[in-house]
Structure 1
C-alpha cells in the first residue's frame, strides 16, 4: 500500500510541470479587425494598499492619474498626480498633500486641467478640490464648507469653475453647487433645486460660457422635463418646459452641446403612464419653431419599431414578441408596456453634422442569502412565494447591463438608424457608464468595454448587422507573443476610457503569472487603438 502511494505521488509530481505549462498556452488568433495595443505601463501596486483614478485628456493626448498609496505603519494615504504621454511613458509626478479626513469622490477635466474632488468623513458638507495643470507642472487645492451637501453625484468643469450636482442632507432634494477653485468662493444655484426622484443631466461648454440642465418633474403619474440655461457664473439665462400632450411621460433626456450654435436638439426616453420605465425614445428640435413661434411636435420611437433593440433576445423569443404585438394591433388593444431602464450617454457629434445617442439598458441585480432567518420589518415585503416571513433576504448587488442601444439622428432630430451592442458579464456597483464609444476615421463607431482581462467590442456602421461577440485579451507584454509566457489570473476594477482619436486607455489591477519568473501584482495602463 505504501509503495502504491509513493508511485502515485511521483507520477503527480512529474505531471505538475506539464499542467503548469498548459496554463501558458499560446494565445488564440486575433480577429482581422482587432485593435492594436502599442503601449503598456505597469505600476507595482496592490489594490488593497492603493487607489488609482484615471483621467485621459484628449487636449494634449496625455493620461493623468491620481494615485494614492498607503503609508507604512500608518492609516494615512499618500497622494500624487502622475502624467503619462501618448506612449504611456511617465512625464512627471507631483505630490499632493491631502488631510486624513478626506476621501476621494469625483474626477473631471477641462482642457489640460484635471480636478479631483474629496469629501470629508469628519465634517459633513466639507469638500476639498485639487487641481492639476500638467502644462505648468502645478497643483493647487481649495477647501469648501458647503454645510448642506451630503453626496456629490456628478461633477463638470466650466471656465475654471466646478458645477457639482449634489444630494442635500435631507436626502430628499438634489441641487447644483458652483465651486470657484481659484477664489475659494461657492454658491448654491437656487434655479436648480428639485425633490427626488428627479433625474438630472447637464452639459457645459467654456467657449459659449453656458451650462444647460435637463431636470425631470413628476407628480407620480406623469412626468415632464424642465430645461434651464445658466452662465458660467451660475446666473439663470432661460427656462422652459418640454412635455407630451398625450398619455406619454418624458423621463429624462440629453441636450446637444452648447458649442453647437446651429442646432439645439433634445433626445431622451418616454413612458406610458408609468414614469419609471421607458417605452421608447423621443426627439425634438428646440430651434425648429424659432421663426413661427410654434415648436415642432415631439417624435416618438417605440422600442418595438427599432430594427435592433430586441437583438439581445433569442430569435424565437423575438418572433413570439412581434407576433403577440401584431395580434394586439389587430384587435385595437393598447400596445405592450415595456419595463426597461436606460442610462443615457451625452450626445456625440458626428462628422456629417448629426448626433449619436448611446443608452445602456440595465436592471438592478440582487443576490439572496438562504440562511432562512427571519427577515423582519427591515425587509418588508420580501419573502418566499407563499408569503412566509422566513426565507431568503434580498441584497442589492449592483446594476446589470443587458445591451447598449446606439442611434443616429440628423441635425433636425430625425432618427436615421439604430443598432444594438449585446453585452455580457457587465455589472457595476454604481449607476454609471460602462460601455464606451469612439468614432473611427472611416465613419464607423466602436463600442467596447472590459470584461476582466478581455476587451469586448462591436464595430457599428449604421443599422448594418455585425458580430456582438468579438473580443481580444488585454495584452500583458510588449507584443502578442508575450502572452504565451505571462498570464493574468485575476483582473479587478477594470475599465476602458475614451482617450483621443480612435484610441482608448484600458486600466485596472492584475495579478500576472510568469512561467519562468516571479509573479507580480500591478496596476496597468494599456493603449488600445482601433
Structure 2
C-alpha cells in the first residue's frame, strides 16, 4: 500500500533550545503534476487523522482516499482506503470523538454518500441515500445515527436529517422562508438537540435560534430584534443542564461589519420557554471593541495612541466611537473558568468581474452579484476574550498578524491553553509566529521560529498552504507542502513533499517571564 512506504522515512529529533522547538518531522513525497491532496485532523493524545486524497482521471473511481491514524510520534497505527464512485464529489466533513464522517454528492442529482470512519480501528461504513430535493449544501453535522444537512433550495434555507438506519430524510419545519440565511447549525450532544441559528438581512435584521429534537421536531424558538443592534453570528455552549451561553459578534447597521461581541445566558425553564439574562441585568451584554483593553495593540504605538485618545475623548463627552471590522470567529473553546472566544480580523480585496453568480448566500457571492469578486483576504490581527460561566468578560488579549493574505477565508491562528498561560501562534511560509500571554498581559511578544530541512545540505525552495494545529499538552502540529532543493549545485533535483512537524512550546518557569507590553487600565464595563 502506497502510504505505508511513505511513512518509512527518517525522523528528525531536535533538542529544545527555545520557546518553540521542533521535535519530530515526517515527509511524504508527492507528485506536483498529480492532484494529490493531504489534510490532517488532530485527535489530541490519540494522535491525528491523516487523509490522503487522489483524483482518478478515468474509470469507475472518481477519488481514492487513504486514511491513516498516526500516534503522537507521527507513526501510523492503522491505514484504511475508500474508493469513491466517479461523478461523486467531496462536499463536507465532520468529526467527533468516535468517527470521521465524509459527505459526497453527485452534481445534478439528489444522490448522496456518507462514509463513517471509526477512529479506533479504521473500519469504514458506507451510507447511500437520496434527498427529497437538490440543495446547495453549506452545513453538515452528525449526532448519533442521523446526519444533519443544511443548505439552500431556490435561495431559501433548508435543513433535513438523514437516517443511517433506513436512509430516510426528515425536513425541519419553520426555516423555508425568503430572506433568511443560515448562520450556523450545531448539534448539542449534551441535551440531544440540534440548534439552527439564522439571521435576516431584511426584516429588521432579525436573529433567531431554533432548537429541534434529533428527529426534527421543533422544541423552542428565541428571536432577537435587530432594530438597535443586529447579531451577525452566534454559537451556543451548554454550561449546565438548564443553561447555555450564546455568544458571537454584532453590528450596529445590519451589515457584515462587526462593532463588537455580545454574550447572553439562555435559561431553559420548566415551561420550555427561554429567559435571557446576564449578571448585569440586561438581556444581552454588548461589548464594543473600544471596551476591550488590548484590541488595538496590533497598531503601531503612535497610531494606537491616537485611537485611544479619541476613544477617551468621546467617552468623556458621553459618546461612543464605533469601529467596524470583519470577523472570522472560531469555534468556542471551553475552559475550566468558562470559555475562550477567538476571532481574526480581516478585510477583503476585490477584483472586478462581469460574471453574475447565483445561489448561495455568502459574502463572496453577494459581492459577485454586485460585479465584484473577492480575490484575497488580508488578515490584520486576532483577539481572544476569556469569559466565566455566567458570561462575564474576564480578560482579553491581541496578536498582530503581519503580511498574511489568503485566497480562502480560513482560520490562521491557533490557541493553546497551558494554564495559567495561553499560547497564540500562526504560520508564515516556513516560519511560525507565537506569543505567550497570561490573561491581559503579554509575557513573550511575537517570537519567531523558523523550521529547517532534515538535512543541512537542503533548503526550502517554496512552502504552500502552511497550517498549525494546537495538538495536545504543550505540542503543536505544523503541516503544509514544500519544495526542497539542495544547497549544492548539480546534485539531487528538487523534491516535493507534504510535511508534518511536531513542535513543543516550553513555557518559562514561574517568575522568569515578565510582561513586555503595557495594557490599558480602562474599565471594560464603562
TM-score normalised according to structure 2 size: 0.79
How far apart are the structure 2 equivalents of 1:271 and 1:344? 14
**Distance change >3 Å, CA 72–CA 149, structure 1 → 2:** closer
Residue aligned with 2:18, SS: coil
Aligned-pair CA distance for 1:418: 0.8
Residues 1:514 and 2:486 aligned together = yes
The correspondence for 2:220, drawn from 238, 242, 245, is 238
Aligned-pair CA distance for 1:357: 0.7
How far apart are the structure 2 equivalents of 1:80 and 1:33? 35
**Counterpart contact for 1:207–1:259, Cα < 8 Å:** no
**Distance change >3 Å, CA 394–CA 215, structure 1 → 2:** closer
**Distance change >3 Å, CA 243–CA 521, structure 1 → 2:** same
Aligned-pair CA distance for 1:203: 3.1
How far apart are the structure 2 equivalents of 1:339 and 1:69? 42
How far apart are the structure 1 equivalents of 2:134 and 2:57? 33
**Distance change >3 Å, CA 316–CA 162, structure 1 → 2:** same
Aligned-pair CA distance for 1:508: 1.6
The correspondence for 2:470, drawn from 494, 498, 506, is 498
How far apart are the structure 1 equivalents of 2:321 and 2:289? 10
**Distance change >3 Å, CA 420–CA 124, structure 1 → 2:** farther
**Distance change >3 Å, CA 308–CA 93, structure 1 → 2:** same
**Counterpart contact for 1:456–1:471, Cα < 8 Å:** yes
Residues 1:473 and 2:450 aligned together = yes
Aligned-pair CA distance for 1:327: 4.1
Residue aligned with 2:500, SS: strand
Residues 1:300 and 2:308 aligned together = no
**Distance change >3 Å, CA 226–CA 77, structure 1 → 2:** closer
Residue aligned with 1:424, SS: strand
Question: In the alignment, what sits opposite 1:285?
Answer: 265
What whole-Å deviation, never above 9, does each CA across 1:321-359 have from its counterpart, x for those lacking one?
A: 233344445555x533322111222221112x3211111
What whole-Å deviation, never above 9, does each CA across 1:218-276 have from its counterpart, x for those lacking one?
A: 426x42321122233333222212347x72222222211x4743641112222223443
What whole-Å deviation, never above 9, does each CA across 1:431-453 have from its counterpart, x for those lacking one?
A: 3333222212x322222222222
Question: In the alignment, what sits opposite 2:504?
Answer: 529
Question: In the alignment, what sits opposite 1:255?
Answer: 236
Moved more, 198-207 or 291-300: 291-300
Residues 1:268 and 2:245 aligned together = no
How far apart are the structure 2 equivalents of 1:467 and 1:367? 39
Aligned-pair CA distance for 1:470: 1.8
How far apart are the structure 1 equivalents of 2:388 and 2:236? 14
Question: In the alignment, what sits opposite 1:223?
Answer: 205
1:17-28 equivalences under 5 Å are none
Q: Which has the larger radius of gyration?
A: 1
**Counterpart contact for 1:57–1:112, Cα < 8 Å:** no
**Distance change >3 Å, CA 494–CA 47, structure 1 → 2:** farther
**Counterpart contact for 1:347–1:357, Cα < 8 Å:** yes
The correspondence for 2:338, drawn from 341, 354, 369, is 354
**Distance change >3 Å, CA 294–CA 287, structure 1 → 2:** closer
What is the root-mean-square deviation of aligned Cα atoms in Å? 3.2
**Counterpart contact for 1:253–1:344, Cα < 8 Å:** no
Question: In the alignment, what sits opposite 2:512?
Answer: none
Question: In the alignment, what sits opposite 1:447?
Answer: 424
How far apart are the structure 2 equivalents of 1:107 and 1:466? 37
1:54-93 equivalences under 5 Å are 54-58=40-44, 61-71=46-56, 76-93=62-79
**Counterpart contact for 1:166–1:177, Cα < 8 Å:** no
Question: In the alignment, what sits opposite 1:141?
Answer: 126
Can you give the 5+ residue segments of structure 2 that lack an aligned partner in the other structure? 1-14, 358-370, 506-526
Moved more, 193-202 or 266-275: 193-202
Aligned-pair CA distance for 1:30: 8.7
How far apart are the structure 2 equivalents of 1:449 and 1:275? 28
What whole-Å deviation, never above 9, does each CA across 1:426-476 have from its counterpart, x for those lacking one?
A: 333333333222212x32222222222222222221110345532212354
1:11-410 equivalences under 5 Å are 32-34=18-20, 36-49=21-34, 50-58=36-44, 61-71=46-56, 76-121=62-107, 123-146=108-131, 148-168=133-153, 170=154, 172-193=155-176, 195-196=178-179, 198-219=181-202, 222-243=204-225, 247-256=228-237, 258=238, 260-261=240-241, 263-287=243-267, 295=277, 296-297=281-282, 298-329=284-315, 335-351=320-336, 353-367=337-351, 395-410=373-388
TM-score normalised according to structure 1 size: 0.79
How far apart are the structure 2 equivalents of 1:486 and 1:454? 16
**Counterpart contact for 2:62–2:83, Cα < 8 Å:** no
Question: In the alignment, what sits opposite 2:411?
Answer: 433
**Distance change >3 Å, CA 143–CA 493, structure 1 → 2:** farther
**Counterpart contact for 1:199–1:252, Cα < 8 Å:** no
How far apart are the structure 2 equivalents of 1:322 and 1:104? 48
Q: Relative contact order (alpha carbons < 8 A, sep ≥ 6): 1 or 2 greater?
A: 1
Question: In the alignment, what sits opposite 1:8?
Answer: none
**Distance change >3 Å, CA 360–CA 199, structure 1 → 2:** farther
**Distance change >3 Å, CA 107–CA 284, structure 1 → 2:** same
Question: In the alignment, what sits opposite 2:391?
Answer: 413
Aligned-pair CA distance for 1:395: 4.8
Aligned-pair CA distance for 1:93: 2.0
Residue aligned with 1:287, SS: strand
How far apart are the structure 1 equivalents of 2:205 and 2:229? 8
Residue aligned with 1:432, SS: coil
How far apart are the structure 1 equivalents of 2:222 and 2:233? 15
Aligned-pair CA distance for 1:94: 1.8
**Distance change >3 Å, CA 289–CA 321, structure 1 → 2:** farther
